[in-house]
Structures are given as structure tokens and as C-alpha cells.
Amino acid sequence: MLFAFFGARMAGEGDEKVLLISGGIIAGAALAIWLRTRLWVLIVLCLTVQGIIPAIKIPLRVLDFAILFATVSYLIFIAVRVLRVRVEKDILDLLLLVNLAYLGSVFYRNPVGLHSLGSGMVGGRPYFYILMAFFAYHVLKRAPASKADVLRLPLYITLGAAFSAFCGIVATYKPNVGAALTPFYSGFQSFESADALATADLDSRQITLSAIGNSGILYLVSRYAPVTLFLPIYPMRLFAFLTCTVANLLSGFRTALISSFIYMLMSTWLRKRFHDMFILVGLVTVLVLFCVVGNNRMFRLPTPAQRALSFLPGDWDAAALDDANYSTQWRIEMWKMVLTEDRWIKDKWLGDGFGFSESDLALMKSAREGGQGFIGGSAQEGWMIAGGFHNGPLSAMRYVGALGLLIFIPLQFYLAVRYYRLIKVTRGTPHFCPALFTGMPVVYGVFNFYFLVGSFDAALPETLLAAGILRLVERNFANSTAVEKVATAVLEKKKWTPGRTRIRRPVPTLGGV
């Protein structure tokens, strides 16, 4: 009643911002009391919700709000002794600290600030994102998660991806509705107005659909044997698989189709269904041939779908082929310039850090207004200034140098090996699905980072988040296994000593000390 009284008064005086912040604080407190130790669920729900809330005038992503909210709440719970969790440190913590310590030295040598504060070097937002991922790592590795929540972890992440795709669909097909909802979430803003660097040939591409396409395929192949997705005897699986495949096609990304096929092969291999490998390859080949041969003969695929399939021989539209070839060509030209010129990377050994100068920012702003550039357009120059080389090792050399890349490599490979070990040990258990869902992108991400379209400024925070989820699943699986062993011993009336298996003590992780 008090909030209603003061809220009505603030609304009458025009203090909507104060009213919104006050309501958010009250809602946040209520949510923290309700969820308590399950606050980590908010982080995984918002992993793919990368937009901001323009109405509150704070340039933070929804994911950042979720991480900060969970971190502060857990600190309060620890202070008031509601939460008592002690997790042992292991090699993963050491590798993370080494990478973050070196990144701190890069920031010290190349300090960067904010344009609004009059700093000479701007564009240091990746530092903040990495800090948020570091907070999330500590929350996830300490969060007391129930077995039911961990088993639903793939569903939580997929729901977040579905929300992002829904926002993109509304922005594309219902621009009036999207414009009305944009103040509450920027994801409802149309692609053209959200990114002025977009070229004209992207008008028909549904970029946001790749979120649900990738996450949906990953969820399906983690939960079910991939070969069963093609069988009509499982109509719901078949429908979901075709829907996610169509979403990947309409996104226009060639890498989305490639990654989906790789996830199918990886899931089949890790399930030890080796005989299904040949059947799966044959089914995918038939589906691809149907699209390639049938296009322009029996039906006409949308231009984005033709662009996604343009790496295969077929009768594709000239616009789709030109766009795909142009995308590949300017990346190759860009890589040559980065390797042969000193303008784009000043210190290839120690790195230039995140950010760029005010003069570079002015150049990027002018590029957004259009005009002539090099390598086919002005947008590419803006990406090169910011370090967006579409190549993992080159972007790492731009930000942290060759030395930073050498420090990052052991972290990547150790995390991939650790996930592989988790997948192997959970095979045949309920934890196999979340292990596959979170582990396959990490294993495949190593290949993607070095040979496809990696980016260090995105790879490092993603690695931190993946490490936190790994610790969460590992600890929950170890605790569940210990409880099952105790229950089995009791049921079988075997001698069991409580001191020999202490459930209350933190169970060492699979790769821990």
C-alpha cells in the first residue's frame, strides 16, 4: 500500500524513471527471496539475451543485470550464513587466473576509458564483459544446484535462445509492435536500424533465427540419438528438427549448418552408436540433395537459404552467390592486410588491448553514415579498427598479442578435455544430456576459433561462462553419484561408514585436486 501511494505520487509528478527503478528494486528483492540459492538459473536463462533495456538509461545487457543480481545476492546469502559452500580450487582456476592476470597487464600498458568521460582511448567494454563472466564463473561453481535444475539446464538455455529469436521475428514481421516494445528490450529493434553497418543484401536474412536454430539442434542431439530426428515414428522430434533447420537456413549463415551437422556426428560418436554414423551421413546427404537439386526446379528456396547452401554446387541465385563470395573474399583480403601492415596491430607480441583512439572512433562514425571504403565498403574499415577480424588467432594478437594467445591456448584445450572427460563419465546417466549440451560447443569451439570465425573478445568471456557451467555440472554429478552409492549400500544392507563417504563435504571435481 505504501508503494502504491508513493508510486502514484511519483507517476503524477512525472518521475517515471524513479518509479521504474524503485519497482525494479522491490521486484528484485522479492525474486531473490523466492529463488534464494537457485538464482544461478537467471544467468543460464539470459546467456543468449544480449540486448539492453533502453528505458532505464543504463547501458548494461540483460545478462549483465542477471550476473550482478545473482552475485550480490549470493554475497548477501554468504554474509548472513544462508549459503555455506566451499569449493576446492583446481587447475582450471589457476589457468583462468593466469589469463586474467595477463589481461590486467595488457590493460595497464594500454589503459582505456569511456567516451562520455573524455578518455583518449575508448571502446573498453570487453573488459567489463570479461569481468561479468568472471563473476558468473564464481557464482556457478559455488551455486548449490539441485539435480532437477541441472538436468533442465539445456532447456533453460534453449528458452533464452527462443526468446531472442522471437524478438527478431517480431521486429521483422511486426515492426510497429517491435517499435513499441523496443524501450523495454532492444532485441525488438529491427536489424537495419540496430546496425547501420548492415549491407543492403541482408534485408531478407533473419539473423536472430540462428540463436534458436543452433540451440535447438544442440538440444535435440543432446537429448536424443541424432538418427532418430529423421524418423517419422517420432513426429515431434522430426518437426522440431525441421523447424530448427529452417531457422538456420533463413539466418543465411553457412557456419550454422556446418556446426549443426558436426554436433550430430559428435553426439552419435560420443553415444558409441558407430553404426549410426553411416546412416546419419546418408540421411543428411539425401536432405541436402533434395534442397540442391530441387531448388529452381521443383521449388525456390529463399535467398538467405541459398546463401547458406552456396558452398555446395547448385543452381543458386546470383545475389546469394555474390554475397557469399564477397563475404569470403573481403575476409581474406582483411587477413592479408592485418598480417602485412602495421596499422591494424601495433604490438603483435604483447597486444594493443581492447579499445581504440578518439580519431578512430570518429572514422568509424563516419563509416556508419556510408561512403566509399576499401575492400568493397566502409564497414570493413570500422571492423578492422575495432579488431573484428573474423579470425581467432588474429583477433587475439590484436588484443593480447602472441604471448596472450599462448597463455589462452592451454585454457581452451584443458577446458575441452575436461568437458570430454565429463561426457564420457556421465554416459548412461541423466547428466549425459547437460554434459553433451554444454560440452560439445566447447570442444567444437576450439576448431571454430582457429579455423573459422573466432573472436578473442567473445571467446574469453564465453570460456569463463563455460568453465562455470562445467564446475556446476561436475559437482552436481559427483554429489548425485555419492548419494546414489550410499542409497545402494543401505538398500543392499551393506556395511557403510559415514566417515568413509561424507556427503556434506565438497566432493572433488573430476579434474580437481
What digits encode the pLDDT tens for the residues 363-411? 666 655 554 444 444 566 667 777 778 889 999 999 999 999 999 999 9
Residues paired with residue 357 on neighbouring β-strands, in sequence order: 121
pLDDT at 98 over 90: yes
Alpha-carbon gap, residue 222 to 266, rounded angstroms:
10
237, 228 contact by CB (below 8 A): yes
In which band, very low, low, confident or very high, does the pLDDT at 513 lie, cut at 50, 70 and 90? Answer: very low
- Alpha helices of 143-300 — where are they, by DSSP H? 147-151, 153-173, 175-181, 191-194, 209-223, 235-251, 254-270, 275-294
The CA distances from residue 286 to 116, 248, 314, in Å, are 56, 18, 15
Distance of alpha carbon 57 from alpha carbon 21, whole angstroms: 11
Query: Is the pLDDT reported for residue 504 higher than 80?
Result: no
pLDDT category at 94 given cuts 50, 70, 90 is: very high
How far apart CA 206 and CA 169 sit, in angstroms, is: 8
pTM, rounded to two decimals: 0.86
C-alpha cell at 151: 538436468
Q: Kind and range of the H or E element at 366?
A: helix 358-368
Q: Which residue has the higher pLDDT, 88 or 368?
A: 88
359 — pLDDT class (breaks 50, 70, 90): low
Question: Does residue 73 carry a pLDDT above 60?
Answer: yes
pLDDT range class, residue 203, cuts 50, 70, 90: very low
pLDDT at 306 over 70: yes
Q: Is the pLDDT of residue 455 over 80?
A: yes
- Taking residues 311-318, report their average pLDDT: 86
CA distance 192 to 117: 29
- Neighbouring C-alpha atoms within 13 Å toward the C-beta of 36: 10
Secondary structure class of 512 (helix, strand, coil): coil
A 10 A CB-CB count for 63 gives 25
All 3 cell numbers of residue 218?
Answer: 544442440
In the predicted structure, residue 194 carries a pLDDT above the cut 70: no
Share above pLDDT 70 across residues of the chain, in percent, rounded to a whole number: 81
CA nearest neighbour of 466 among 214, 136, 215: 136
Cβ neighbour number for residue 240 with a 10 Å cutoff? 17
Range from 141-150, 312-321, 381-390, 392-401 carrying the lowest mean pLDDT: 381-390
Mean pLDDT, the chain, whole residue set = 83
* pLDDT of 510 higher than 60: no
Lowest mean pLDDT among 17-31, 52-66, 374-388, 402-416: 374-388
pLDDT tens digits, 271-280: 999 999 999 9
Q: Give the per-residue pLDDT at 162.
A: 93
Task: Output the pLDDT for position 486.
Answer: 66
Q: How far apart are CA 424 and CA 226, in angstroms?
A: 18
Q: How confident is the model at residue 499 (pLDDT cuts 50, 70, 90)?
A: very low
Question: What pLDDT, on the 0 to 100 scale, is given for residue 324?
Answer: 83
Confidence bin at 506 (pLDDT 50/70/90): very low
Instruction: Report the distance separating Cα 214 and Cα 242, nearest Å.
Output: 12
Q: How far apart are CA 351 and CA 398, in angstroms?
A: 5
pLDDT of residue 14: 65
Lowest model confidence (mean pLDDT) among 197-211, 304-318, 396-410, 497-511: 497-511
Adjacent-strand bridge partners of 121: 357
Strand partners, 356: 122
> Is residue 480 pLDDT above 80, yes or no?
yes
Give the residue, 107 or 369, on which the prediction is more confident: 107
- Residue pair 227/273 in contact (Cβ under 8 Å)? The answer is yes
Which position has the higher pLDDT, 328 or 393?
393
CA dihedral 500, 506, 512, 513 (to 10 degrees): -60
What is the Cα–Cα distance from 283 to 232, expressed in whole angstroms?
Answer: 13
- pLDDT at 362 (0 to 100): 64
Give one word for 272, left, alpha or beta, with left for phi > 0 and alpha for psi -120 to 50: left
Closest Cα partner for 113 from 365, 353, 370, 395?
353
Which pLDDT belongs to residue 497? 52
Model confidence at 501: pLDDT above 50? no
- How far is it, in rounded angstroms, from Cα 417 to Cα 466? 13
C-alpha–C-alpha distance, residues 163 and 185, integer Å: 11
DSSP line for 91-110: HHHHHHHHHHHHHHHHHHHS
Asked if the model's pLDDT at residue 325 lies above 90, the reply is no
Residue 196's pLDDT band (boundaries 50, 70, 90)?
Answer: very low
